[in-house]
Structure 1
Amino acid sequence: MPVFGLIDANSFYCSCQRAFDPALKRRPVVVLSNNDGCAIARTKEAKALGIKMGDAWHLIRKDRKLAGVEWLSSNYPLYADMSRRVFEVLTDLVPRVEPYSIDEMFLDLSGINDLESLCVKLRQDVSQITKIPTCVGWGPTKTIAKLANAIAKDRPELEGVCDLTGAGARERYYRNLDVGEVWGIGRRSVEKLHASNIRTISHYVDADEKLIRAISGILGERIQSELRGDSCLRLSDMAPQRQGVSCTRSFGRPITEPEEMREAVCGFATRAAEKLRGEGLEGGHIAVFIQTSPHARQWGWYSGQRALSIPATNDTLVMVRHATRLLREIWRPGYRYIKAGVHLTDLSPDGAQASLLEPRNMAAESAMRAMDEINQRYGKQVLRPASIGVNRNWSPRQNMLSPRYTTKLAEIMVAGTF
């Protein structure tokens, strides 16, 4: 019988910050979204103070009861690298690991006799090596493993681990948990299920398959099978190919000049093309959008978008040229723009020959490889198109950014004696 595990980091972004700053260990910590906008990660101490996900920082920062909170800007390079480190620890201990998100990973635990001892060791090793606290849940299907993980996180008496491999253990929890706790059942489906008197997970498991399919479709029926212990979702050996690549940002201040917007959009196109090359893909469709703030309509509201189908490419200079053309079509003077982005779709593997009449530009491909190698060796965007500018004063606010302890040489911690 297959056994799936799910390991989930607790308050991952905050835990990454605490891993390098002992002064944060017992303080309430909140990590903010891009532009230092709203709370996207909170420690249990911050939650106890009433800080909710999505709370706007500028509205709550002066609250006296929050005077001791440590507010931090998002440090995504650090979080991505810490996620990689957690993955490497896990791959040394279990046969297969499938990243589900930056802070969650599915595990193949099939054929292991003492599952609890292994899962306790997983938590201990991840904590010892990366300083990231985690919880682990396991069961005969992915859906059950996900539920077990949530139970482990919510119930301190379980000490971070939960075993739902046995039908008896599952039934005890199923009777008391709302159906909305199940991974994959959305809010609208929950409302329909409640209206049909299907309120607990037990009700969902025992319900007629035709009723579940009528309410939640094929996905709902598959979830029901998973909750019954019949595995429908396999562990992937590789991530599915992306359907699109996006690079969007809110600006640190409104943009009113076309030259600044052109720099921003060209920068987004450059980053999107880098992502394509990093994953061995090309894009055949590019879209550009710009918009003003919906919360400052006294300055006027405008949102513009244009898209274009292009020969598949991951060439930065080609993407920049098309993005600039699309921006010219949607730019309207007199507005205070607060956000923009570039989105690439119609992705295909790099190297696919689209047409015998359009031979590949080998010189351009060599130039892109050289640019990527230089940037990987000497630092992000050391070599970049001139069109993305130098100063970029419109960049998102990150006034409370911690050092990038593991990804930038100048900011790596230095050991010393006292």
Structure 2
Amino acid sequence: MYLLFDCNNFFASCEQVFRPDWRRRPLVVLSNNDGCVISRSAEAKAAGIAMGEPYFKCKDRLERMNAVVCSANFALYSDLSDRFISILEQELPEVQQYSIDEAFAVVEPGVDWKAVARRLRSKIRRWTGITVSVGIAPTRTLCKLANETAKHHPQTQGVLALNTPEDWEPLLQQTPVGDIWGVGRRLLPRMHALGIRTAAGVAAADKGWLRKQFGVHGERMGLELNGIPCIDEEPAAPRSQVMVSRSLKEAVTELPKLREILCLFVEKAGRILRQEGMMASGVHVVLRTSRYEETQLYANSASLALGMHTDDNREFATAACRLLEEIYRPGYPYRKIGVLLTELLPQECVQPTFEHPDTAPSALMDVLDKLQKAGHNVHFANRAANTPWKREFTSPCYTTCWDDIPEAH
């Protein structure tokens, strides 16, 4: 059996934890540079604020509804995510983190897991202030459906178990095929063209036919919807991140040189990403001095969400260089630098958003990869901007910065 724990409106909920006066108010979290909406409270969703909507387009509406607007505070979100995962790991035998706000637990049948889920849901709420939804099912795909249903139907009280075909078959009949986990923008038109409109249609289809039409991915989807587990490990991707990091032979103190090295690492990470047919929506940069130079120790890291999934090195390099400028401190002899591309998804599972309707793999990146494979040393010129990120509405780092710890009176 599988349990899927998913934090509701995670970034928005994190902002409300330390500001209870923001609860029950429309609240949105903006992407890097305050570009577009990447998280919404339930009230903001009900008011019609769309995911991915550019801030300049919804700014007036948000002001009229007295909404709270927050710049993304990834230090806070990451810390609360770690606490959420830690609670699960203390209570469950095998926890597999799927994303910053989701985790699967692999468990044995024969236990009242619904009661366990309710207890853990209450504990997570009590210890972190975050509300989670829980789906329980014999496969990960059914678990996803159970979780989404629990999230949007108050009568479930946040927990839904699909233990038998009698539990999940009515749900499959009501679920549009586009809502099945793993059906992206490429598969959906093909399924519609073949007359498959609901999850029940996929479950009822001949598995050999599904394999012929959609490959192994389609066959596994059909089996999973029938309660037969086919995905033994975390199914989001062959890997959860792409990391390129190196210890430097000689210490580097100048920012331009570090930027040059980082851009080379970004190119390599992007190439690995595309070779595996993946896209990323997060960039993380690490920088530190040698651990053995005690008089000049410094280490720091920073992350950004791009607000979209992409495989374009230009997006990664711009974000990485700006992150480097945020964490760089002059005068230190840096010995290690690295970049991580995070929040990976297979290309076929990436769906277009309001702000980014074109999610197709970059044709330019494909050409550059072919040139480099043929032995041509082609690189982008370093065009990283020196201007800092626009973050007008950043909340304090309540849990990771001593100066920001809230005072109790």
TM, length-normalised to structure 2: 0.69
2:311 maps to none
1:383–1:215: structure 2 CA closer, same or farther, 3 Å change rule? farther
2:185 maps to 187
**Aligned pair partner of 1:324 in 253, 260, 264:** 260
Aligned amino acid, residue 129 of structure 2: K
1:145 maps to 143
SS in structure 2 opposite 1:219?
A: helix
1:229–1:381: structure 2 CA closer, same or farther, 3 Å change rule? same
Q: 1:164 aligned to 2:162? A: yes
1:78 maps to 76
Give the superposition deviation at 1:70: 0.5
* TM alignment of 1:19-418, pairs within 5 A: 19-63=17-61, 66-111=64-109, 113-235=111-233, 244-245=242-243, 276=245, 282=246, 317=252, 321=257, 323-324=259-260, 342-345=266-269, 367=290, 370=293, 374-375=298-299, 381=328, 394-416=387-409
1:293 maps to none
2:381 maps to none
1:198–1:46: structure 2 CA closer, same or farther, 3 Å change rule? same
Instruction: Answer whether contact 1:175 1:200 (CA < 8 A) is retained.
Output: yes
SS in structure 2 opposite 1:62?
A: helix
SS in structure 1 opposite 2:215?
A: helix
Give the superposition deviation at 1:344: 3.9
1:185–1:242: structure 2 CA closer, same or farther, 3 Å change rule? closer
SS in structure 1 opposite 2:93?
A: coil
Deviates more, 1:104-113 or 1:170-179: 104-113
1:380–1:65: structure 2 CA closer, same or farther, 3 Å change rule? closer
1:405–1:369: structure 2 CA closer, same or farther, 3 Å change rule? farther
1:66–1:188: structure 2 CA closer, same or farther, 3 Å change rule? farther
Q: Could you tell me how far apart the structure 2 residues matched to 1:112 and 1:369 are? A: 52
Q: Could you tell me how far apart the structure 2 residues matched to 1:326 and 1:164 are? A: 47
1:120–1:58: structure 2 CA closer, same or farther, 3 Å change rule? same
1:242–1:62: structure 2 CA closer, same or farther, 3 Å change rule? closer
Q: Could you tell me how far apart the structure 1 residues matched to 2:292 and 2:330 are? A: 12
Aligned positions, number: 316
Give the superposition deviation at 1:174: 1.1
2:364 maps to none
Give the superposition deviation at 1:157: 1.4
Give the superposition deviation at 1:107: 0.9
Give the superposition deviation at 1:242: 6.1
Q: What runs of 5+ residues in structure 2 fail to find an aligned partner? A: 273-287, 302-325, 338-384
Instruction: Answer whether contact 1:32 1:74 (CA < 8 A) is retained.
Output: yes
Q: Could you tell me how far apart the structure 2 residues matched to 1:76 and 1:122 are? A: 25
Give the superposition deviation at 1:414: 2.0
SS in structure 1 opposite 2:196?
A: coil
How high is the sequence identity, in percent, across the aligned residues? 33
Instruction: Answer whether contact 1:406 1:412 (CA < 8 A) is retained.
Output: yes
Deviates more, 1:63-72 or 1:43-52: 63-72
1:18–1:200: structure 2 CA closer, same or farther, 3 Å change rule? same
Q: Could you tell me how far apart the structure 2 residues matched to 1:322 and 1:380 are? A: 12
Aligned amino acid, residue 290 of structure 2: A
Give the superposition deviation at 1:154: 1.8
Aligned amino acid, residue 105 of structure 1: A
Provide, for residues 65-107 of structure 1, a one-character-per-residue CA deviation record: whole Å limited to 9, x for no partner.
Answer: 7341101000001000000000111112111111100000001
Provide, for residues 102-142 of structure 1, a one-character-per-residue CA deviation record: whole Å limited to 9, x for no partner.
Answer: 00000123245111110101110000000001100011111
Give the superposition deviation at 1:179: 1.5
- Answer with 1 or 2: which has the greater Rg: 1
SS in structure 1 opposite 2:135?
A: strand
Q: Could you tell me how far apart the structure 2 residues matched to 1:84 and 1:405 are? A: 14
State the superposition RMSD in angstroms: 3.4
Instruction: Answer whether contact 2:141 2:180 (CA < 8 A) is retained.
Output: yes
Aligned amino acid, residue 151 of structure 2: K
Provide, for residues 168-203 of structure 1, a one-character-per-residue CA deviation record: whole Å limited to 9, x for no partner.
Answer: 101111122112111111122121112111111111
Q: Could you tell me how far apart the structure 1 residues matched to 2:241 and 2:83 are? A: 26
1:192–1:72: structure 2 CA closer, same or farther, 3 Å change rule? same
Give the superposition deviation at 1:323: 4.7
1:15 maps to 13
Q: Could you tell me how far apart the structure 2 residues matched to 1:412 and 1:15 are? A: 18
1:241–1:39: structure 2 CA closer, same or farther, 3 Å change rule? closer
Stretches (4+) displaced over 4 A: 239-243, 312-316, 368-373, 379-388
Q: Could you tell me how far apart the structure 1 residues matched to 2:7 and 2:261 are? A: 43
Aligned amino acid, residue 24 of structure 1: W
Give the superposition deviation at 1:210: 2.9
Q: Could you tell me how far apart the structure 2 residues matched to 1:243 and 1:177 are? A: 30
Q: Could you tell me how far apart the structure 2 residues matched to 1:240 and 1:188 are? A: 19
SS in structure 2 opposite 1:406?
A: coil
Q: Could you tell me how far apart the structure 2 residues matched to 1:323 and 1:173 are? A: 51
Aligned amino acid, residue 324 of structure 1: E
SS in structure 1 opposite 2:174?
A: coil
1:384–1:322: structure 2 CA closer, same or farther, 3 Å change rule? closer
